[in-house]
């Protein structure tokens, strides 16, 4: 038995591809979805039914039998402990190895742990983690190796690998026509948290300008979980609402990769790495990262003028055969070490 611990919607980004590869090999897997935090509860806004259905649909779309799936809420520590002791997974795949506000910490003392590190943040998480049986750090970026000690390896980009699988219905049934011009905007928070009135004013003006050029706006809401969403998201306060808002990332491939690749242009306001995965595939001139300043609107207008004749579909330019399959390399490594 091999367990996948999912404590936030972002955990699916790195772990769904390895899960599918394990299932293709006939491995017995157990997906554990936890809403076990007092604050920053990403799954507070999700239901057990939609999360279970999401994992099942990803498996069905890719023609593999689903794993066993369990949901454990904020009051289910004892329920999980009983299940864990019964199943005794030999290996646990986990991204969240430390959380600032746990109501309870999922047990994993009888298992080896494969840790999917959050970039260099993973170093501090390792130091503060209650888990002392981590046998491998799976690194998120190639340059992370120099920051980690112990058994740490970069196998490739697991978010990119999702593009090699069949998408689910949510990705295919979008409210847009093929000829629509699409602009993707991932929500950021740092500037908004510091000066919400100014940032909201600039964002409103930019959105009005973008829509006046004929673009449909897809807005990816930032998901930090209850109760921080009301303080860090400007979505509901925008004067002009986007044409389509992604409030839950129940997409496969993940919306953070799928929508930028489907859009004609992408614009990121403020500081964020939300577009990094998509831009590393494309390196095109149809993307703009702009800081909030007195010149923001002028920069946006200049960018829109430059792209006014662009009907470019980014997705069509990608050569999927060139994408890595890091989960294959990961599983091979686990087999070589007799962990699976």
- For residue 186, give the CATH number of its domain: 3.40.50
What percentage of the chain carries pLDDT values higher than 70? 94
Q: What is the pLDDT of residue 324?
A: 86
Is the pLDDT at 30 greater than 80? The verdict is yes
CA dihedral 112, 114, 119, 125 (to 10 degrees): -20
Residue 39: closest CA among 103, 98, 96: 103
Q: What mean pLDDT value characterizes the chain?
A: 91
**147 and 7, same domain (yes or no):** yes
Q: Is residue 307 part of a domain?
A: yes
- Domain encompassing residue 129: 2-156+324-336
Q: 313: pLDDT confidence band, cut at 50, 70 and 90? A: low
Is the pLDDT at 3 greater than 60? The verdict is yes
**300 and 328, same domain (yes or no):** no
**191 and 128, same domain (yes or no):** no
The predicted model scores a pTM of 0.94
Q: What is the pLDDT of residue 157?
A: 95
**152 and 12, same domain (yes or no):** yes
Of the listed ranges 70-74, 158-162, 263-267, 309-313, the one predicted with least confidence: 309-313
Residue 236 class from Cβ within 10 Å (0-12 exposed, 13-18 middle, 19+ buried)? exposed
d(CA 58, CA 67): 11
**139 and 11, same domain (yes or no):** yes
**18 and 98, same domain (yes or no):** yes
How many domains does the chain divide into? 2
Mention every residue, 6+ apart, whose C-beta is less than 8 A from residue 78.
none
d(CA 67, CA 310): 43
H-type alpha helices, the chain: 11-24, 48-61, 77-87, 121-128, 158-161, 169-172, 190-194, 196-212, 229-232, 255-262, 276-282, 296-306, 326-336
Scored b (16 or more CB within 10 A) or e, 48-62 reads eeebbebbbbbbebb
Of the listed ranges 21-30, 205-214, 309-318, the one predicted with least confidence: 309-318
Mention every residue, 6+ apart, whose C-beta is less than 8 A from residue 275.
186, 260, 266, 268, 287, 289
pLDDT in tens, 121-176: 888 999 999 999 999 999 999 999 888 988 999 999 999 999 999 999 999 998 88
Return the structure tokens found at 195: 């000066």
**142 and 284, same domain (yes or no):** no
**97 and 178, same domain (yes or no):** no
Q: Is residue 167 part of a domain?
A: no
Is the pLDDT at 28 greater than 60? The verdict is yes
Residue 157: closest CA among 126, 124, 120, 116: 116
Q: 10 Å Cβ neighbour count for 102? A: 18
As a whole number, mean pLDDT of residues 301-310 equals 84
* Helix H or strand E segment including 216: strand 215-220
Q: 284: pLDDT confidence band, cut at 50, 70 and 90? A: low
Q: What is the pLDDT of residue 315?
A: 54
Q: 10 Å Cβ neighbour count for 258? A: 23
As a whole number, mean pLDDT of residues 67-90 equals 98
Q: Is residue 104 part of a domain?
A: yes
Q: What is the pLDDT of residue 177?
A: 87
Across the strands, what pairs with 92?
A: 3, 113
Q: 309: pLDDT confidence band, cut at 50, 70 and 90? A: low
**184 and 134, same domain (yes or no):** no
**139 and 81, same domain (yes or no):** yes
Q: What is the pLDDT of residue 230?
A: 59
**186 and 52, same domain (yes or no):** no
Q: What is the pLDDT of residue 286?
A: 82
């Amino acid at each position: 038995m091999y367990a996948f611990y999912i404590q936030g919607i972002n955990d699916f980004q790195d772990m769904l591809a390895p899960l599918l590869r394990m299932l293709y090999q006939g491995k017995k897997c157990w997906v554990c979805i936890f809403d076990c935090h007092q604050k920053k509860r990403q799954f507070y806004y999700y239901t057990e039914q939609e999360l279970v259905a999401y994992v099942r649909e990803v498996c069905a779309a890719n023609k593999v039998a689903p794993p066993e799936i369990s949901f454990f809420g904020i009051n289910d520590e004892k329920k999980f402990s009983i299940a864990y002791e019964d199943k005794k997974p030999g290996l646990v795949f986990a991204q969240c190895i430390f959380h600032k506000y746990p109501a309870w910490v999922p047990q994993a003392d009888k298992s080896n742990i494969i840790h999917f590190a959050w970039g260099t943040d993973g170093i501090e998480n390792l130091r503060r983690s209650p888990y002392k049986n981590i046998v491998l750090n799976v690194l998120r970026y190639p340059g992370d190796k120099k920051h980690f000690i112990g058994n740490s390896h970069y196998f490739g980009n697991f978010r990119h690998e999702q593009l090699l699988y069949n998408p689910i219905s949510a990705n295919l049934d979008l409210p847009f026509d093929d000829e629509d011009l699409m602009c993707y905007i991932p929500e950021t928070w740092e500037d908004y948290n510091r000066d919400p009135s100014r940032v909201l004013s600039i964002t409103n003006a930019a959105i009005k300008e973008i829509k006046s050029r004929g673009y449909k706006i897809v807005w990816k809401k930032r998901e930090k979980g209850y109760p921080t969403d009301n303080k860090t998201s400007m979505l509901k306060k925008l004067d002009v609402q986007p044409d389509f808002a992604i409030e839950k990332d129940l997409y496969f491939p993940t919306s953070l990769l799928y929508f930028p690749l489907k859009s004609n242009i992408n614009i990121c306001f403020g500081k964020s790495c939300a577009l990094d995965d998509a831009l590393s595939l494309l390196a095109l001139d149809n993307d703009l990262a702009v800081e909030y300043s007195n010149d923001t609107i002028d920069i946006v207008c200049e960018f829109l003028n430059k792209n006014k004749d662009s009907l470019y579909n980014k997705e069509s330019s990608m050569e999927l055969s060139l994408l890595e399959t890091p989960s294959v390399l990961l599983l091979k490594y686990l087999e070589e070490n007799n962990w699976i």
